[in-house]
Amino acid sequence: MRDDDGKRLKPGTRLVTAGRHESVAGRGIVNPPVWRASTILYDSVAELRAAGRKPDDGLFYGRRGTPTQWSLADALTGLEPGAEGTLLFPSGVAAISAVLLSLLSPGDELLMVDSAYEPTRAICDGMLRRFGVTTRYYDPMIGGDIAAMIGEKTRLIFLESPGSLTFEVQDVPAICAAAKARGVTTAIDNTWATPLLFPALSHGVDISILACTKYIVGHSDVMMGSVTATPGHYAALRRTAMELGQCVSPDDAYLAARGLRTLGLRLRQHEEGGLAVARWLAEQPQVARVLHPALPGCPGHDLWKRDFSGASGLFGIVLNGGDDAARTALIDGLDLFGIGFSWGGYESLALPVDPAGLRTATTWAAEGPAIRFHIGIEDPDDLIADLSRGLARFESARR
Ligand X SMILES: *Cc1c(COP(=O)(O)O)cnc(C)c1O
Q: Which is nearer to ligand X, 191 or 194 (CB)?
A: 191
* 7: annotated active-site residue: no
Task: Name the minimum Å distance from CB 131 to ligand X.
Answer: 21
Q: Which is nearer to ligand X, 200 or 329 (CB)?
A: 200
Task: Name the minimum Å distance from CB 112 to ligand X.
Answer: 13
Q: DSSP states of 352-368 as a string? A: EE-GGGG-SSS----SS
Q: DSSP states of 83-94 as a string? A: --EEEEESSHHH
Q: Which is nearer to ligand X, 66 or 120 (CB)?
A: 120
* 42: annotated active-site residue: no
Task: Name the minimum Å distance from CB 223 to ligand X.
Answer: 5
Q: Which of 7, 121, 214, 359 is catalytic?
A: 214
Binding to ligand X by residue 93, rule CB under 6 A?
Answer: yes
In eight-state DSSP terms, residue 98 is H
Q: Which of 8, 36, 49, 63 is catalytic?
A: 63
Choice from 66, 68, 86, 91 touching ligand X (CB under 6 A): 91
CA distance 392 to 271: 26
Q: Which is nearer to ligand X, 220 or 342 (CB)?
A: 342
Binding to ligand X by residue 216, rule CB under 6 A?
Answer: no
Task: Name the minimum Å distance from CB 276 to ligand X.
Answer: 22
Choice from 191, 228, 246, 286 touching ligand X (CB under 6 A): 191
Binding to ligand X by residue 124, rule CB under 6 A?
Answer: no
* 63: annotated active-site residue: yes
Binding to ligand X by residue 211, rule CB under 6 A?
Answer: yes
* 189: annotated active-site residue: yes
Please tell me the chain's helix, strand, coil percentages from 3-state DSSP, rounded to the nearest 5: 45, 15, 40
H helices, E strands: number in the chain:
15, 11
CB 26 within 8 A of CB 67: no
- Give SS3 for 350: strand
Q: In this chain, which stretch among 34-42, 87-95, 330-338, 374-382 interacts with ligand X, using CB under 6 A?
A: 87-95
Return the H-helix or E-strand segment holding 232: helix 231-243
CA distance 363 to 352: 18
Task: Name the minimum Å distance from CB 69 to ligand X.
Answer: 16
Between helices 250-261 and 263-282, what is the axis angle to 10°? 70
Binding to ligand X by residue 213, rule CB under 6 A?
Answer: yes
Binding to ligand X by residue 225, rule CB under 6 A?
Answer: yes
Binding to ligand X by residue 92, rule CB under 6 A?
Answer: yes
| Contacts of residue 342, Cβ cutoff 8 Å, sequence gap at least 6 | 213, 214, 220, 349
Indicate left, alpha or beta for 270 from its phi (over 0: left) and psi (-120 to 50: alpha).
alpha
What residues act catalytically? Answer: 63, 117, 189, 214
Query: Residues interacting with ligand X, by CB under 6 A?
Result: 91-93, 117, 164, 189, 191, 211, 213-214, 223, 225, 342
